[in-house]
Amino acid sequence: MAERCAIVGIGQTHHTARRDDVSIAGLLREAALRALDDAGLDWPDVDAVVIGKAPDMFEGVMMPELYLADALGAVGKPMLRVHTAGSVGGSTAIVAASLIQAGIHERVLTVAFEKQSESNAMWALTVKTPLQAAVVAGAGGYFAPLVRGYMQRSGAPEDTGIRVAVKDRANALKNPYAHIRDPNLTFDAIAGSPMLWDPIRFHETCPSSDGACAMVLTSERAIPRPKLAPAWVHSMAMRSEPTQFAGQEKINPVSGQMCAKEVYSKAGITDPRREIDAAEIYVPFSWFEPMWMENLGFAEVGQGWKMTYEGATALDGDLPVNCSGGVLSSNPIGASGMLRFAEAAMQVRGQAGEHQVDGAKIALGHAYGGGSQFFSMWIVGSARP
């Protein structure tokens, strides 16, 4: 009964540590204008705006959609603000696509962003309250023990994480928008980089970026005459579970497994490893690639690292993962999830330039957040579903 949803325009900023030359609004407009231009549409064509970002404390602006309404052409229109922690970029795209699928709007602009340089992300993530012991050092401090647990459980070789980083850093060199584009990041350079949150090394970690991503979504009848054929939403899914409870599986979260099953089954995918041509997965620390390969059902439990090791996830592998360089190479937190969704759509539109997977027809976009507890995913395809 749902309307079909097409992705007709995609835009992003050149992600970097500091964008002093633009305001928050300017940063978002850059991505939004690129998406509108890609779609061949203009601000008045947009029916509604859906915006997403991670905690407001990152920029110190409470509910910034209020201040951004003018800059995003939302005046007189409906505007929604989504926040589901790190998965927010993905969830935001899902809310926007739902507006199309529900038949409520014909053309929706969705934008996600983070301008981390405006504040201090580490500070915002670990506000010191008198009630908690201050023992967790930001996201790295939180996730490093989970990585260690995975290493111990799977017996993965210790250099798996380095290999993921080598691949993603090399992919980033093919993506003009990536934040970290450094040809010197060889295996030895990454292996020799300092341990920050042992077992996580500096170069196995995502950067802190200023950046934004935008997409224009339309119903089938409202598809403009874009320069490029649209990508189609084949399926979407979201799953959440509590932060911490007794007996919880933190390394291979059930919410992620369920989300993946749902997104495949709704898209009619029975053998994801074979049927999916490219995947953009939220990997903020390199070890999460093998962990998510298992969680997403691409590999048996305990075997995910072999995909990295055997080159299956490389640009020329059988399941290219993070051809854009991924979160490891660009991390405007609130936008990182939408970038995964958008890059998946770029692949099936044949729009990914140097990091294009030849002939990609079906792609997965994936985002997660919180303590590995919020998941959002979509399957997009070049064919009308």
Partner 1 sequence: MADEAKPVTNIKTPMRLEYRYSAGVATSRFLRGIGQGKILGQRCPSCRKVYVPPRGSCPRCAVPTVEEVELSDEGTITTFAIVRVPSENIDVPLPFASVHVLLDGCDIPFFSVVQECPVDQIRIGMRVQAVWVPKEELTSTLQSIRYFKPTGEPDVPFEKLKEFL
Partner 2 sequence: MREVAIVSFAQAPNARRELRNEVEILMPVVQEAVARSGIERPFDFTCSGSSDFLQGQPFAFVMALDAAGAWPPIPESHVEMDGAWALYEAWVKIQTGQAETALVYAFGKSSPGDLPEVLATQLDPYVLAPLWPDAVSLAALQARAYLEKSGHSERDLAEVAARSRRSAKSNPNATVSGDYEVEKLLATPHIADPLRVHDCAPVCDGAVAMVLVAGDRARKVCERPAWIRGIDHRIEPHSLGARDLTVSVSTRLAAEKAGVGRGAVDVAELHAPFTHQELILRDALGLGANVKVNPSGGALCANPMMAAGLARIGEAASRIWDGSARRAVAHATSGPCLQQNLVCVLEGA
Sites of contact with partner 2 (CB under 8 A)? 1-2, 23-24, 55-57, 59-70, 74-85, 91, 94-95, 98-99, 101-104, 118, 124-125, 127, 129, 237-243, 245, 254-255, 258-259, 370-371, 373-374
Beta bridge partners of 205: 285
354 scored as a contact of partner 1 (CB under 8 A): no
Beta bridge partners of 50: 80, 110
Residue selected from 42, 63, 102, 153 as contacting partner 1 according to rule CB under 8 A: 153
Residue selected from 1, 184, 247, 316 as contacting partner 1 according to rule CB under 8 A: 247
For the chain, state the CA radius of gyration: 19
Torsion (CA) 309, 169, 253, 234 in degrees, nearest 10: -100
Least distance from C-beta 19 to partner 1, angstroms?
9
Q: Up-side HSE of residue 367: CA atoms within 13 Å toward CB?
A: 36
Element (H or E) spanning 143, and its range? helix 138-154
Element (H or E) spanning 94, and its range? helix 88-101
Q: Which residue has the tokens 């305990």?
A: 302
Residue 46 phi/psi, 5-degree rounding, is -80, 130
One-letter amino acid for residue 113 of the chain: F
Shorter beta-carbon distance to partner 2: residue 104 or 229: 104
Angstrom distance (rounded) from CA 324 to CA 171: 6
Least distance from C-beta 308 to partner 2, angstroms?
26
Residue selected from 251, 276, 323, 342 as contacting partner 1 according to rule CB under 8 A: 251
What, of partner 2, partner 1, none, does residue 130 touch, CB below 5 to 8 Å by kind?
A: partner 1
Least distance from C-beta 152 to partner 2, angstroms?
25
Residue closest to 25 by CA, chosen among 55, 54, 51, 57: 51
194 scored as a contact of partner 1 (CB under 8 A): yes
Residue selected from 76, 128, 183, 316 as contacting partner 1 according to rule CB under 8 A: 128
Residue 295 · residue 260 · CB < 8 Å: yes
One-letter amino acid for residue 208 of the chain: S
Least distance from C-beta 150 to partner 2, angstroms?
20
Q: Up-side HSE of residue 335: CA atoms within 13 Å toward CB?
A: 34
One-letter amino acid for residue 121 of the chain: A
26 scored as a contact of partner 1 (CB under 8 A): no
Q: Which of residues 39-98 bind partner 1 (CB under 8 A)?
A: 60
Residue 338 · residue 90 · CB < 8 Å: yes
Residue selected from 51, 180, 200, 380 as contacting partner 1 according to rule CB under 8 A: 200
Cα three-residue angle 367-369-370, rounded to 5 degrees = 170
Shorter beta-carbon distance to partner 2: residue 80 or 312: 80
What, of partner 2, partner 1, none, does residue 317 touch, CB below 5 to 8 Å by kind?
A: none
Least distance from C-beta 150 to partner 1, angstroms?
8
254 scored as a contact of partner 1 (CB under 8 A): no
21 scored as a contact of partner 1 (CB under 8 A): yes
Least distance from C-beta 341 to partner 1, angstroms?
28
Shorter beta-carbon distance to partner 2: residue 177 or 264: 264
Element (H or E) spanning 162, and its range? helix 160-172
What, of partner 1, partner 2, none, does residue 17 touch, CB below 5 to 8 Å by kind?
A: none
Residue closest to 371 by CA, chosen among 263, 286, 288: 288
Least distance from C-beta 93 to partner 2, angstroms?
12
Residue selected from 126, 186, 240, 303 as contacting partner 1 according to rule CB under 8 A: 126
Q: Return residues touching partner 1 (CB under 8 A).
A: 20-21, 60, 120, 122-123, 126-138, 140-141, 144-149, 152-153, 194-200, 242-251
